Amino acid sequence: MIFLAAFLVVFLAFAIWLLPAIKFFGELKSSKAACSSKTQSIANCDVQSFRCENPRATLIIVPGLHPSGIHDRRFQAFAKACASAGFYVLAPDIEEFRNFRITPASVQIIVQLIEELSANARKNVGVLGISYALGPVFAAAAKTKINFIVGIGGFYTLEPALRFTITGRRNEQHTRRKSQSWGRLVLISNLVDRISPPADKELLNEIVWALLKSDHQKADGLSPQLSEAGKKVLDEILNGPASDDDSKLLEIIPIVKQLSSEVSPSVLVNEIDPKVRFYLLHGISDNIIPFEETEDLTRELRKRNHAVRTCITNSLTHVDPVHRLTDAWGLLKLLIWTRRLISEASR
């Protein structure tokens, strides 16, 4: 009887502790978190801020590569839910990311934003990088002082992450998994001229950008005008390569080598202050960046004695939560990870 009573007390305490995470996902789904929002210019960039009552910690949320950037409906709901959880949220509208480019200028925007917060005596500042934005977040963190980093669907080393995006496997030894065409479209968006047959460069570029903007009718109308070689490249973009030996997209990997050396967390991890805390989240079913990237990053950070909270779960795709009743344990892990992240708001 005493054991049962003790169990019930512990269970009740745990359930109460978990309530903020449950509330977070409720507000994320409803998009109705009550908070104020305004846009200001910081570091020569439009930055949208979200604030609820008396936030104690600051969270800079850097969007992934998406044409809508911070104005994407899902991003807005996520930023508002973070503000409702107790963070003062800042979301930079990085033009390069909306055009699917990662450049030194985009890293500098994050650096200047962090420095601006430090100058205003903001305490407990964290930066959250979504998807490929985690690389620029690491690059910025290596140049500034922050307290914690959050990565959702991020990568460890750029080349194997891109190889997975193209082929469905990180290297030739791994079993092939189905990767999403969106990742290949993003990858090729600014490099069409490198892999396209000369006669199809302009047309293929127009098709790729139509697909990125979800204008499938325009893309379908233009596709028949491609040469046979151009149609083969488009098929690889949409469906992945039939084999690695014949892949045109894999020719891109050497082109991004310099960028990889500048933004891969695997290169930058030694430059991060060992006191920085990490919260890493990745979906097992992620078909754009494989979850093994986060596993590798976690191992390397723990070797350097960073405090790391990592959640690899079936309750997330690439960046979107999915609630599967058959995966109650995965959902519980996601709630516990979220609750620990929310605790940063009260440090």
Neighbouring C-alpha atoms within 13 Å toward the C-beta of 310: 21
Pairing type for strands 45-51 and 36-42 reads: antiparallel
Does residue 13 fall inside a structural domain? no
Same domain, 97 and 178: no
Same domain, 173 and 237: yes
CA distances from 36 to 39, 80, 94, 344 (A): 11, 9, 21, 21
Same domain, 90 and 101: yes
Same domain, 130 and 50: yes
Task: Please report the sign of the dihedral spanned by the C-alpha atoms of residue 312, residue 287, residue 241, residue 156.
Answer: negative
Which residue segment(s) compose the domain that 207 sits in? 159-258
**Partners of 49 in the β-ladder:** 38, 90
Task: Pick the last residue of a domain from 238, 258, 278.
Answer: 258
Cα separation, 278 vs 299, whole angstroms:
12
pLDDT attached to residue 149: 98
pLDDT attached to residue 300: 97
Same domain, 202 and 213: yes
Task: Pick the last residue of a domain from 258, 275, 302.
Answer: 258
For residue 143, the 8-state DSSP code is: T
Same domain, 141 and 272: yes
Q: For residues 67 and 54, is the Cβ–Cβ distance under 8 A? A: no
pLDDT tens across 6-51, in order? Answer: 767 777 888 888 998 989 988 888 777 678 889 998 878 899 999 9
Give me the phi and psi of 264, to 5 degrees please: -75, 125
For residue 175, the 8-state DSSP code is: P
3-state secondary structure of 152: strand
Total count of domains within the chain: 2
Does residue 27 fall inside a structural domain? no
Same domain, 164 and 311: no
Same domain, 202 and 250: yes
Q: pTM for this one?
A: 0.93
Same domain, 237 and 182: yes
Same domain, 271 and 246: no
pLDDT attached to residue 325: 63
Task: Pick the last residue of a domain from 227, 258, 289.
Answer: 258
Q: What one-character-per-residue DSSP string does 44-111 give?
A: TEEEEEEE-SS--EEEEEE--S-TTGGGSHHHHHHHHHHHHTTEEEEEE--HHHHTT---HHHHHHHH
pLDDT in tens for each of the 347 residues of the chain?
777 777 677 778 888 889 989 899 888 887 776 788 899 988 788 999 999 887 889 999 999 999 999 999 999 999 999 999 999 999 999 999 999 988 888 899 999 988 888 777 678 999 999 999 999 999 999 999 999 999 999 999 999 999 999 999 887 767 888 899 999 999 999 899 889 999 999 999 999 999 998 999 999 999 999 999 999 999 999 999 988 888 999 999 998 888 899 999 999 999 999 999 999 999 999 999 999 999 999 999 999 999 999 999 988 888 888 876 677 888 889 999 999 999 999 88
pLDDT attached to residue 328: 81
